[in-house]
Amino acid sequence: MGNFKTKLARFMYGRYGADELYYALFLFEIIVLVLSTVFQVLGYNSTPFAIVSAVLYAISIMTLVFAIYRMMSRKIDRRRRENMWFLRQKSKFKNLFRSKKRRLSAMDTASHIFRACPHCSATLRLPRKSGKHTVRCPRCSRTFKVKVK
């Protein structure tokens, strides 16, 4: 077993290997392969279902070949750029569903107030002390006046 591991490690030396995009492509390939199988079972005697099944199967095979090509590639800079692009797109997609507002507990609202910076729109958590105060925004470092009742 140890001999196989050293041969595999020697083979993979200088190659890119697996990353987030590889795992996403592999997951996509499995989903498309399952859909292909479902269409094949549903359309056992139907030509349109058979065509859709064949197209999905071809897409799954091409995705698998591309994922393995990326993993075995020696062009590490290109693969890293592809992965960084994928991670940026993934974070943009996740941010669409993430709530912008932080959930406030009763304890937060009793002892603090929340104000937006007029310059950069950052939400600031300020202590609840009545009067006029000058506040410095930690994000943009500008000062502004806040009146607390």
Interval 122-137: pLDDT, tens: 888 888 888 899 999 9
Q: Residue 131: which region, alpha, beta or left (left: phi > 0; alpha: psi -120 to 50)?
A: left
21/90 same-domain check: yes
φ and ψ at residue 116, rounded to 5 degrees: -95, 140
28/48 same-domain check: yes
15's CB contacts (< 8 A; 6+ apart) are 71, 72, 73, 74
Q: Measuring CA to CA, how many Å separate 96 from each of 82, 90, 92, 99?
A: 22, 10, 7, 8
* Predicted TM-score of the model (pTM): 0.61
27/77 same-domain check: yes
123 is in which domain, residue-wise? 106-148
62/10 same-domain check: yes
pLDDT surpasses 70 at 32: yes
Counted domains in the chain: 2
- Domain limit, last residue, from 74, 97, 120: 97
